[in-house]
């Protein structure tokens, strides 16, 4: 069987289907190259002394891991000179990175969580990279932070890499979701699954249950019903999984269905949940919807939320459609 590489896949999309422009193809290729470099850096682990924490905090007040900082630098360095971007924004940077004047300015904005699940780095559990692409508004002069504040429905592309037993790249250009596996010897991503679909029904859920006492009543009710199993109102048993890397939990759902929840809770009442809208929830929601799943914050479709801040947080319920609709209906 002839193997289709990411490069070939993107050229097809551009040439025959007219789905993407040349600059977007370059953008995806460059992000994929950055993910390869991150995968290699992570793979060396303790050999290069790169495990453990850096001495810095990000804007969320989280202590950065050394690999958070390195992954962020890799994404910036690979992407800044290609001429495809106007600016980048990241979980690990307080403010957007505007493309320096010495490079041509492109028409896209790139947002990323360079290393998702980084608390898992030191224990050798899967981590990943999440990214989102928006059009840069036209005729604006200098790019500013508010130019990034576009609803997720405006994304032109979204994807994530999972650095697990294999390195995967899962990608949507707005016409379905494809999965590529890194061939480490050749150094290229190979198409291993077209048109990923999330089953509508599931018997698996994903939530950090240690926060149960802080949940709001609709979430408590929904999870209680799942836990009641066969003899409860749902009439079937449910299994639970929580990797604590959103990429790994979402990838499991992309593969065999399930529901992922990070609700708002009473620990920090002024913060609506833990996950970040612009570079975690939005790209993952686009991918999940493109695979036939659903994604809400309990009240509305995540992709319809008008962002107010670059680093704003949001409650997340995503995955198999019927379950997401049910837990959302409990919020009404
Ligand atoms: P990050 O490492 O980018 O800060 O993201 C971690 C996120 C997400 O990947 C995961 O689902 C969640 O935090 C885990 O949270 P808990 O530690 O509360 O389980
Ligand atoms: Mn993250
Ligand atoms: Mn991160």
Pocket flag, ligand 1, residue 13 (CB < 6 Å): no
Minimum-distance ligand to the CA of 280? 2
Pocket flag, ligand 1, residue 117 (CB < 6 Å): yes
Report the nearest-CA residue for atom 18 of ligand 1: 208
Query: Phi-psi bin for 273: left (phi > 0), alpha (psi -120 to 50), beta?
Result: left
Mean pLDDT of the chain: 95
Instruction: Name the residue with tokens 């910036």.
Output: 76
pTM over 0.75: yes
Position 298 scores a pLDDT of 97
pLDDT at residue 52 is higher than 90 = no
Pocket flag, ligand 1, residue 245 (CB < 6 Å): yes
Minimum-distance ligand to the CA of 118? 1
Q: Is the CATH number of domain 6-193 3.30.540.10?
A: yes
pLDDT at residue 63 is higher than 90 = no
| Confidence at 107, pLDDT banded by 50, 70, 90 | very high
Position 185 scores a pLDDT of 95
Nearest Cα residue to 136 out of 124, 146, 127: 146
pLDDT at residue 263 is higher than 80 = yes
Q: What is the mean pLDDT of residues 59-70?
A: 87
Task: Give the burial class of 33: count Cβ atoms within 10 A of its Cβ; 0-12 exposed, 13-18 middle, 19 or more buried.
Answer: middle
Position 128 scores a pLDDT of 98
What does the pLDDT look like over 188-238, one tens digit per residue?
A: 999 999 999 999 889 999 999 999 999 999 999 999 999 999 999 999 999
pLDDT at residue 315 is higher than 90 = yes
Q: CATH classification of 204-331, choosing from 2.40.70.10, 1.10.3720.10, 3.90.1640.10, 3.40.190.80?
A: 3.40.190.80
Q: What is the mean pLDDT of residues 158-184?
A: 97
Rounded CA separation 33/37 (Å): 6
Per-domain boundaries in the chain: 6-193, 204-331
% of the chain residues with pLDDT over 90: 87
% of the chain residues with pLDDT over 70: 100
Instruction: Name the residue with tokens 């001429």.
Output: 83
Rounded CA separation 171/291 (Å): 11
Strand partners, 206: 260
Report the nearest-CA residue for atom 6 of ligand 1: 117
């Amino acid at each position: 069987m002839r193997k289709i590489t990411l490069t070939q896949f993107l050229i097809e999309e551009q040439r025959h289907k007219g789905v993407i422009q040349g600059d977007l193809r370059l953008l995806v290729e460059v992000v994929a190259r950055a993910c390869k470099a991150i995968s290699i850096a992570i793979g060396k682990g303790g050999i290069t002394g790169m495990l453990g924490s850096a001495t810095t905090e990000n804007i969320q007040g989280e202590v950065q891991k050394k690999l958070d900082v390195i992954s962020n630098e890799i994404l910036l360095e690979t992407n800044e000179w290609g001429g495809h971007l106007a600016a980048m924004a990241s979980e690990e940077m307080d403010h957007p990175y505007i493309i320096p004047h010495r490079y041509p300015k492109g028409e896209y904005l790139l947002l990323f969580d360079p290393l998702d699940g980084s608390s898992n780095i030191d224990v050798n559990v899967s981590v990943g990279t999440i990214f989102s692409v928006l059009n840069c508004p036209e005729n604006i002069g200098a790019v500013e932070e508010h130019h990034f504040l576009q609803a997720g429905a405006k994304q032109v592309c979204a994807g994530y890499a999972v650095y697990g037993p294999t390195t995967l790249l899962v990608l949507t250009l707005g016409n379905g979701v494809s999965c590529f596996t890194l061939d480490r010897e050749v150094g290229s991503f190979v198409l291993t699954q077209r048109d990923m679909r999330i089953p509508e029904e599931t018997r698996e859920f994903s939530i950090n249950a240690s926060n149960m006492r802080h949940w709001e009543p609709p979430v408590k009710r929904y999870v209680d019903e799942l836990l009641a199993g066969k003899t409860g109102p749902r009439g079937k048993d449910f299994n639970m999984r929580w990797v604590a890397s959103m990429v790994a939990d979402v990838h499991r759902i992309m593969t065999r269905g399930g529901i992922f929840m990070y609700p708002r809770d009473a620990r920090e009442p002024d913060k609506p949940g833990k996950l970040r809208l612009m570079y975690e929830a939005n790209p993952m929601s686009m991918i999940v919807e493109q695979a036939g799943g659903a994604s809400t914050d309990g009240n509305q479709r995540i992709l319809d939320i008008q962002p107010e801040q670059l680093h704003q947080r949001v409650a997340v319920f995503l995955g198999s459609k019927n379950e997401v609709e049910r837990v959302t209906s409990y919020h009404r």
